[in-house]
Structure 1
Amino acid sequence: MNPDGPIAILAGSGQLPIQLVKHLERVGRDYRILAFRGFAAPELRRQAHASADLLDLKTIMSVLDGWRPQAVSLVGAVRRPGFSALLGAYSLLRNRQEVMEVIARGDDQVLRGAVMLLEERGHRVVGAHELAPGLVAPSSLRGAREAGADDRQAIAVGLDLLNSLSAFDIGQAAIVAREHVLAIEGPEGTDRMLRRVRGMRQSWFGLRRSKEGGVLIKAAKRGQDLRVDMPTIGPKTVQEAARAGLSGIAVGAGSTLVLEQEETLATADRLGLFLVAVDLPWMEPPHE
């Protein structure tokens, strides 16, 4: 670790890497971007100081050795690599039995393995929430609309569900209407889950029926390392929730990133959805 070095951003897809770069520019912090090919947005690829395939560990480590960063942050979504690709990437560093055990435990364990690898090479790994704490949803976050009684019931059911699912390392989000679970997030991500519910609610002619309600609950898993794969929403999430006919969105306070918070809240208000941060019983309440 070099205390005078830049922040190294290992960038996947989505708006989070872009928003983090903008924040670092605003506060005048030096940074370097390593964009993952096939994932990073075109806007970020044009700014990137280097590019690499997701599992090209030799190039990634060589670039980081050259930059000598003070910290490394893995931000943005990436699709889960196939089994053979993972074996090839880890074969020089871990034995096959260890790789199989990591893969069997789920995506979060794979990400933890990446953090462990970086730390073994002497790099300090930090989360986007540590670099840009203003992106984190405070307990006071809420839009103009209030959640109704059915919505509050759905939030409670959703939180219980996500807490129970934490042990299985699947998903950070669910859609619940009263006590009815409509969908659980899988590898496809939140936006595609919302589109799946939207499709379920369409008529034979492709027209959405009248607004049916329901809540998107998005929160960190119990025991999740917030330095990687931190739950994130933004204006696009609100738009997809509205198209799916939902009543609103609840996010975990202190453990969810809300990109472009003012625009996200304004979008929720304009589209008639409530947006609220809730304390998670399995995490310490955020300090405000």
Structure 2
Amino acid sequence: MAMTRAEIPAARLDLAPGSRVGIVAGGGSLPVEIADGLAAHGHAPFILLMEGEADRQQELRRYENDSLALEQIGSLVATLKRHGVTHLVLAGEIKRRPKLTDMRPSLGLLAIVPSVVTALARGDDGLLKVLTRGLEKRGIKVVGAHEVVPELAASEGTLTAAAPNRSDWRDIEAGRAAAKAIGALDIGQAAVAIGGRAIALEGIEGTHGLLERTRDLRGHGRLAGKARGVLVKCAKPGQELRVDLPSIGPRTVEAAHAAGLAGIAVEAGRSLILEGPATLSRANALGLFIVGLPASESADGR
């Protein structure tokens, strides 16, 4: 029997009186869903639109907002404090990194540049960890989307009308092991498994690129005649869970179907389902399953 997302309650962050949540908004629907979720629960958010990155500006500008270029990162804390922000969510895709040569000198910038330069050499997760710790040292508490809008997090169990069969579970285990392996190297968060073994791993092109590559691989001799298959997305081992959680949405479902896959598996509580009703409805219409897996580790990367 399919399990609805509402059957497993998620813990909501208890915001003290006077608290205000800010959202550093990159691309995609996640910043909008967090803002709308906060507003629905009585917390008016402040939106900091990242110039050239935030692509849902019409919806986000309904809330109090300001804009910031990546090269103005040194003024981030001052901007947040000016608007009374006590808690911050980093949400949405940032496609490029700031150009250090274009940054205008400031005291705030000079305080963070050494850490940022060091973190850039550690990969994306290293950079995010340094950024969150730097913000918290300056009095801004970084929180995860799943902490302020917990209904975005995937629940455990089968979430769709279709459910994995025995061969799908073999693919899920193989895909999960592969996703964790590349996650430990800070390469990606996803893998595709077909016929009980991983056949494609997520790289810099992201999940959609991975699924396009999988579709193209269907004609490969070693995959000839093999049907079904599963996309698995997992948090990286030791990942900073307050930022960059794995996510899926309607576009993921469409791409998985185009790649000939039978379904998608994500970690419950540590993955986000964007545009939840539309995502599950589309999966049901296409006959795909979506399943939330028990988290395989307790470390949260903090």
TM-score bracket, normalised by the shorter chain, equals 0.7 to 0.9
- 1:61 counterpart (77, 101, 109): 77
Structure 2 distance, partners of 1:86, 1:282, is 40
* C-alpha deviation, 1:192, in angstroms: 2.2
- 1:154 counterpart (148, 159, 171): 171
Moved more, 73-82 or 269-278: 73-82
Q: Residue deviations 1:39-72, cap 9 Å, x none?
A: 1123345446111112311342331121121211
- 1:124 counterpart (124, 141, 153): 141
Change over 3 Å in CA distance of 1:44–1:120 after alignment to 2: farther
- The aligned residue for residue 298 of structure 2 is 283
Tell me, which stretches of 5 or more residues in structure 1 are unaligned?
204-208
- The aligned residue for residue 221 of structure 1 is 236
- 1:1-288 correspondence runs (5 A): 4-42=18-56, 43-44=58-59, 46-47=61-62, 49-81=65-97, 84=100, 92-94=110-112, 99-201=116-218, 212-283=227-298
Identity of aligned residues (%): 37
* C-alpha deviation, 1:127, in angstroms: 0.7
Letter in 2 for 1:69: V
User: Secondary structure of 2:290's match?
Assistant: strand
8 A contact 1:33–1:47 mirrored in 2: no
Tell me, which stretches of 5 or more residues in structure 2 are unaligned?
1-14
Change over 3 Å in CA distance of 1:55–1:184 after alignment to 2: farther
8 A contact 1:7–1:31 mirrored in 2: yes
What's the RMSD between the two structures over aligned residues?
Answer: 2.8
Q: Residue deviations 1:165-195, cap 9 Å, x none?
A: 3321121111111233232112222122212
Change over 3 Å in CA distance of 1:179–1:83 after alignment to 2: farther
8 A contact 1:218–1:231 mirrored in 2: yes
* C-alpha deviation, 1:164, in angstroms: 2.4
Moved more, 132-141 or 180-189: 180-189
Change over 3 Å in CA distance of 1:193–1:107 after alignment to 2: same
The number of residues matched between the two structures is 278
TM-score, length basis structure 1: 0.86
8 A contact 1:2–1:70 mirrored in 2: no
